[in-house]
Structure 1
Amino acid sequence: MPTLDIRITSMYPSGTQGGTRAYASATMDGCLAIRGIKVVEGGRSGLFVSMPSRKTQDGYKEVCFPVTAEFREQLYQAVLDAYQQAITQVQTPPAQMETAPQEAPQPGQQM
């Protein structure tokens, strides 16, 4: 299986951008990149991954990247894992915030 590098390019809070929660890009083996992958809220299992698509002249959407079922499952799981990791990073305060605040200088003291 190819090596995947997944990057979450933008995230949206619930209630904005329709059901879209994030956009991602995937790079396979450092040589093929897929941009415009969406993490969408909805469906039976909560979050799902939507591959980039476009409308044809007939109005139908055509998937730009047909893939095997095995690779699609690996890609979808990697995108959802990257999204969950990004959510965790956003919700975790930076290490600087976790340290105790320094005491404020007393009047007349130099900083």
Structure 2
Amino acid sequence: MNYKIKVYKTKNNEWNTKAYVSVTFNDCFIVTGITVREGNNNSLFVAMPSYKSSKTNEKGKPIYRDYCNPTTK
């Protein structure tokens, strides 16, 4: 399997988001909107791309759903 990873570092060091990442697999499937964020104790973690759906959970908070996009038919 071939893959390409592109990392775009943020310029503002005060943000929790440190970089945006896109990954392309075999030139036919791409995942964009991946973020590298700083958590507690200065540890880094990867957050997968998501969107805010129109649905809410039992506590009334919005539900976020993950998504990915194919690049070819």
Q: CA RMSD in A?
A: 2.0
**1:45, distance to aligned residue in structure 2 (A):** 7.4
What is the aligned partner in structure 2 of residue 100 from structure 1?
A: none
Q: Please report the TM-score for the alignment, with normalisation by the length of structure 2.
A: 0.70
Which has the larger Rg? 1
Aligned counterpart, 1:35: 32
**Any runs of at least 4 consecutive aligned residues in structure 1 with deviations exceeding 6 A, and if so which?**
none
- Amino acid corresponding to residue 37 of structure 1 in structure 2: I
Q: How many residues align?
A: 62
Contact 1:12–1:20, Cα closer than 8 Å, also in 2:
no
- Structure 2 CA distance for aligned equivalents of residues 52 and 13 of structure 1: 21
Residues 11, 22 of structure 1: 8 Å contact kept: yes
- 1:48 equivalent to 2:45? Answer yes
Q: Which has the higher contact order (CA 8 A, sep 6+)?
A: 2
Structure 1 length-normalised TM: 0.48
Contact 1:11–1:21 (Cα < 8 Å) also in 2: yes
**Percent identity of paired positions between Structure 1 and Structure 2:** 31
Unaligned ranges ≥5, structure 2: 56-61, 69-73
| Greater fraction of residues in strand | 2
| Structure 1 contact 21–40 (Cα < 8 Å) conserved | yes
What's the counterpart of residue 6 of structure 2?
Answer: 7
Structure with more helix by fraction: 1
CA distance in 2 between counterparts of 1:11 and 1:31 reads 27
